[in-house]
Amino acid sequence: MSDWNTAEEHVDRALELFRRGRLGEAEQAMRIALSISPDRGDWQFNLALTLDALGKNEEALEWYITAAKLLPDEVEVVASAGIALVKSECFQDGLRLLEDACRLDSSCEEAWAHRIDALARSDRYEEAEAIYFLAQQYLEDYPNCLYAMGEALFEKGLNERAIWCFREAARQEPTLPRVRARLAAALAASGRSHRAVRMFLQELREHPGSMETLLDFGDLLSELGRYGEAEEKFRRMLEINPADTRAHQRLANVAMSQGHFEEAVSEFELVQSLAPDEEDVILPLAAALLSTKRTRETRILLVNFTEKILESSQKELDLRHEEEMIELIDLLLKGGLPGLAGDLCEKMLITRPNDIAILRRLAFAAFDRGDRRTGDRVSRRLIRLDPTLHAVHENLILSAIRAKKPALAWARIQRGLARFPNHEGLRRLRTLVLMRRIPGLISRLTRQKRAKV
């Protein structure tokens, strides 16, 4: 028997194995066929589909691309390669192939939909909308385009328009995966939580094993304070996949919301063991540990994480979300690590010199570690940037009091009350300073009286 016939037999066997769900064996059979005849684009495409089904996305992408190069006129192959590139966030290359697919066959709705998705995810919303309207000229029904446009609008916070897109997509194609779940999420975001709950329940009745729907529904129930129901959804996810870190992290969040801190720590630590390189769990774990009074463990965790950040380049630090860094600084301060908190503030201020949120925390860290000079300097800078920060005026007054400089404290009180005449905190500080100044004033008046006598 010729090598060609042998290769064909392996391909036939691979296709049969694929249909039967025996994906690993199908992959091996297809690889054998390609080892005999490596330039068959259709076989490369079949291998890519098999690898995709196995979750081997990076390797699947390579085979999709090589297949598209060999079969540039096959719309399914070209579109699949473009879609795989978009899923891997290679938007520019993916868009090029998807445009080719639309030119090959203007009725390829999936290619149009993924063009909308790629443009929206590249923050090119106007172009995404233009492609959406262009697709309607070629397509009678376009549920995937409506879904993609709905996602883009939802991401921008245009909930009502997103709701219309999701509803129309569901009308055109009632079996479209996840469309009701996304409609439910948009309804919840627009304040119609009860309708969203009903929509999620309907979706789960038809697709009880949808992990994404269980996750979204659990998140909504958590926001509504229905923690028991939310927990049930996340535990159902774990029945399907016990190693799903998203479900474990959500269970930890639910435990935190209810004050069950030890349970939260256990779940967060489980996430950390399942995904050792995942940084998103570090700050919530630190917060949970602090809530259980495990200060030593908290400090070890925070010190290691913060030192890693401080050793990174300025560019790497700037790429991090500021909200995350602010949360880290606050945890460092709560955990009794003002020195590290101050160091992180200083590094962040290199590229954000007038960031009030960071400057306030730097001043607090300086005062906390007894560095009154830095605290005063940063506080004065804050007042120049925003004179309405009454808490900064209070900190400057307290700094002068602690330094046993009543005259300076009194001058700062006068400046503060000139701006906030009815501020209760400043008035209390004025009383405190007056009480401390009275003995000195009485003594001075007594000396003056004796001198006159």
Instruction: List all residues 6 or more positions away from 84 whose beta carbon is below 8 Å from its beta carbon.
Output: 48, 52, 57, 60, 61, 64, 65, 94
The whole-angstrom separation of Cα 15 and Cα 49 is: 11
What are the structure tokens assigned to 344, written together? 């992180």
How far is it between the farthest Cα atoms of the chain?
132
CATH class of the domain comprising 294-386: mainly alpha
Q: Which pLDDT does position 406 carry in this prediction?
A: 78
Q: 134, exposed or middle or buried, with CB in 10 Å at 0-12, 13-18, 19+?
A: middle
Contact call for residues 131 and 122 (beta carbons, < 8 A): no
Helical H segments across 275-389, by residue range: 282-291, 295-311, 314-319, 322-334, 338-349, 356-368, 372-385
Task: Look at 149-163, 177-191, 389-403 and tell me which has the smallest mean pLDDT.
Answer: 389-403
What pLDDT digit, counting tens, does each position of 17-32 carry? 888 888 899 889 899 9
Q: Which pLDDT does position 437 carry in this prediction?
A: 56
Cα distances (Å, whole numbers) of residue 212 to 36, 167, 207: 41, 19, 11
CA 211, 281, 315: angle at the middle one, nearest 5?
115
What pLDDT digit, counting tens, does each position of 47-91 carry? 999 999 988 999 999 999 999 999 999 999 999 999 999 999 999
Query: Comparing C-alpha atoms, which of 71, 96, 100 is closest to residue 86?
Result: 96
What pLDDT digit, counting tens, does each position of 157-214 carry? 999 999 999 999 999 999 898 999 999 999 999 999 999 999 999 889 988 989 999 9
The whole-angstrom separation of Cα 43 and Cα 171 is: 37
Q: Which pLDDT does position 415 carry in this prediction?
A: 84
**What value does the mean pLDDT take over residues 387-403?**
82
Which pLDDT band holds residue 436 (cuts at 50, 70, 90)?
Answer: low
pTM for this entry: 0.75
340 pLDDT higher than 80: yes
- The type of residue at 100 is D
What pLDDT digit, counting tens, does each position of 224-243 carry? 999 999 999 999 999 999 99
442 pLDDT higher than 70: no
